[in-house]
Amino acid sequence: MNPAIDTRDLSFAYKDRGVLHAVSLSVEKGEMVGILGPNGSGKTTLLRVLSAVLDAQGEIKLNGRNIATYGRRELSKLFAVVAQESHVNFPYTVAEIVLMGRASYHSPFALEGKKDLAVARASMELTDCLSLSDRYLHELSGGEKQRVMIARALAQEPEILLLDEPSAFLDLKHQVQVFELLRRLNRERVLTIVGALHDLNLAALFFSRLVMLREGKIYRDGSPREVLTEKTIDEVYGIRVRVEPDPSGEKPQLFICPSS
């Protein structure tokens, strides 16, 4: 097997504060993996290390090659990243933002071609933001901005998609639409997806494999049924929950048990 992502003993610290500790994780091509854990467990840091934003100790291989052997343009074609919050300091329209996802496919001063425009339009249609194409990004709500950033990532036509809280700022309708879209892209395009998630119920419904982090280490790794147990949630999050199957009987769903 030749995993899309393969890490060995990843460790990372911000100054003297260790955040990741000997994390070894293998993600096969076409897998859809959700990274779970409370705030401070290392989810976002792990994604930033995988996307080469942070340089950690240990080894990372992408498609069998050490990440250090890739150039920036190669990496931007290989994977796309959707951060939890994106800051754009200039008044770009939605269409211009999405077209930025095509930058790695032509020289810096070249104009976008027909294919670039077609891919950008298709990406906006998929994420339900084509109607926003002429509006400026700073005019949009948080949820609308998030959909635009996902569209930009899809416009890169990546093999690997890394997402940090992809449903952040989205209303319930668009949360479901985004996760349904991700699952469809995963199946139809064999797109490898790794997402850091807070919503455990959505993670269980849409991701076939979950990795639970606790204090920078992998605490559980397996199917939703294997990872989302009452005992694990109590140990990792410090809260009591009741776990019951969803209507299909296949996916676990969590219900908080109030302390009083």
pLDDT, tens only, 36-87: 999 999 999 999 999 999 999 999 999 999 999 999 889 988 999 998 766 6
Report the CATH number at residue 202.
3.40.50.300
CA distances from 188 to 9, 64, 73, 119, 175 (A): 32, 23, 25, 16, 20
Taking the CA atoms of residue 49, residue 51, residue 53 and residue 58 in that order, the dihedral angle to the nearest 10 degrees is 30
Average pLDDT of 119-127?
93
* CA nearest neighbour of 194 among 210, 177, 172, 171: 210
* Confidence band, pLDDT 50/70/90 cuts, at residue 138: confident
Per the prediction, the chain carries an average pLDDT of 91
64: CB partners within 8 A, 6+ apart: 2, 3, 6
* CA nearest neighbour of 49 among 88, 1, 104, 9: 9
How many structural domains compose the chain? 1
Average pLDDT of 176-193?
90
Q: Is the whole model's pTM more than 0.75, yes or no?
A: yes
Query: pLDDT at position 22, please?
Result: 95
79: CB partners within 8 A, 6+ apart: 51, 62, 158, 159, 160, 161, 162
Query: pLDDT at position 15, please?
Result: 85
* CA nearest neighbour of 144 among 131, 162, 157: 131
Q: Which domain holds residue 97?
A: 5-256
